[in-house]
Homo-oligomer: A and B are copies of this chain.
Amino acid sequence: MQWLAESLVAKRGIGWAKTPQTHELSEAKQGVYHYTIGPYSQAVLSIQPGDRVIVETRDAFEGAVKTEDDLPSKVLRMPFVNPQNGPIVIEGAEKGDVLAVYIESMIPRGPNPRGTCAMIPQFGALSGTSLTALLAEDLPEIVRKIDVDEQGVYWSKRVTLPYKPHIGTLSCSPEIDSINTLTPDQHGGNMDLPDMGPGSITYLPVRCEGARLFIGDAHACQGDGEVCGTAVEYPSTTSLRVDLIKNWAIEWPRLETEHMLMTIGSARPLEDAARIAYKDLVLWMEAEFGFDRWDAYMMLSQCGIVRLGNFVDPKYTVGTGILKKYLA
């Protein structure tokens, strides 16, 4: 792909030009999956900047929801959900660097119906939750099992949705916190941003030695906001190239696609997530693309793109983008 050769990672990544070594992170090799993202767990793999890793992710229910009778409240044991592969250590990564994660492909894994969507008690945007605590009755608990392949997501007899996969949870380790895998924050985490699919490059701030990359939570498709609380969750084989950009201090994750640069914020209430992202985009345009700060701010008021990842997780995630052509 031509644009990839012009991408930020191609220009700044210290390992991009080399021939990547390919590592497999299969279920067997992973062994124990992780439910927090932090500095206290043992690395499962060590790679060089620029290397490729082929990861077997488990679905967010870790395969426990096999049929529509497997209600999450019965088969899940909180907080042990949304299992993550990793941590993968990237040699040479230090606090103050950035990890670039280019998603090459995401392929469904395992037998159909491999997709799972669920309405979970006390979860979802149109329900009382543990954080928006109400006295109302819970919504019914419902599981949907869905056939998924690379041609489509077979939602119902009436509706087939496109297969538009993305990674729901992608992170480097925080410096001292160990954060459950349901929560997005400055480290990445459970952002559930549909733009984070094949062909995208995510830039994550490195906060501890080796960066400690975690990945999981593949979605076969997802609407903006993930309103009921879950996407079409499925096990995947995801191929990544992981590179390192030295001395690029960013506070929050960023994302690049063929046509767009995006900044990402996670917070509550939702406007605070959008503020984080838009502020970061203004300052990025000023720092690296030659814009006056106020010109950038006013111009984004005319051409900024807002993408709602989720408004169901413990923090909500918003991406704000600008077309690259306006940065030229």
Residues in A lying within 8 Å of B, measured CB to CB: 35-36, 38, 40, 79-80, 117, 119, 124-128, 130-140, 142, 144, 153, 155-156, 159, 161, 175-180, 221-232, 251, 265, 267-272, 274-276, 278-280, 282, 293-295, 297-306, 308, 311, 316, 320, 326
Contact = CB atoms under 8 A, between A and B. Distances in A.
A282 to B, nearest CB: 7
A178 B40 contact: yes
Nearest to A160: B326
B135 A229 contact: no
Contacts of A298: 117, 119, 142, 144, 228
Contacts of A294: 119, 139-140, 142
A36 B36 CA distance: 14
Given A126-B133, A135-B282, A224-B305, 5 more contacts: A40-B178, A79-B176, A128-B134, A225-B274, A274-B308
Stoichiometry, as copies per complex, reads 4
Q: Which of A155, A161, A175, A275 has the most CB of B within 10 A?
A: A275
A301 B229 contact: yes
A306 B124 CA distance: 16
A217 to B, nearest CB: 14
Contacts of A221: 302-303
A155 B119 contact: no
A223 B305 contact: yes
B265 A267 contact: no
5 contacts: A117-B298, A155-B299, A227-B278, A232-B302, A270-B270
B276 A126 contact: no
Given A119-B297, A134-B128, A136-B137, A303 B177 contact: no
A271 B274 contact: no
A141 to B, nearest CB: 10
Contacts of A80: 176
A304 to B, nearest CB: 3
Contact of A225 (B178, B278, B280): B278
B128 A136 contact: yes
A32 to B, nearest CB: 13
A135 B293 contact: yes
A108 to B, nearest CB: 15
Contacts of A180: 176-177
